[in-house]
Amino acid sequence: MNSTPTHPVQITTDELVKLRADSNLLLLDCREPDEHAIARIEGAMLIPMQEIAARLDELEPWREKPLVVHCHHGVRSLRVVEFLRGKGFHTAQSLSGGIDAWSRDVDANVPQY
């Protein structure tokens, strides 16, 4: 039997707001640098999806801590979370709706594109 705690694969913008207030988490932006230049969530670390595997060591401190991945709409981040969970990052979650939902629901100052 696996004793690893289960965390939902996706997290809502409301849940992320609460998590950011209550814990030390890594918010990982898996979009491309040109997208990050247009819109970004304060404090997010940018590692484009294609670079995740090569830069996995940078994420090691968050292996057992809250780690939320976001992209534009939530498709790429789901793929990244699937990869990370396969590498033992069992707390990794994807932001449902991505930065687009963040802009609509939480911070209208983040541009939509």
Active site (catalytic) residues:
71
SS3 of 108, please? coil
Residue tagged 């396969």 (tokens): 86
Q: Where are the alpha helices (DSSP H) in 1-113?
A: 13-22, 33-38, 75-86, 98-105
Rounded distance between C-alpha atoms, residue 113 and residue 107, angstroms = 14
Q: How far is CA 40 from CA 6, 69, 90, 99, in A?
A: 28, 13, 25, 7
Pair of tokens at residue 40:
């970004």
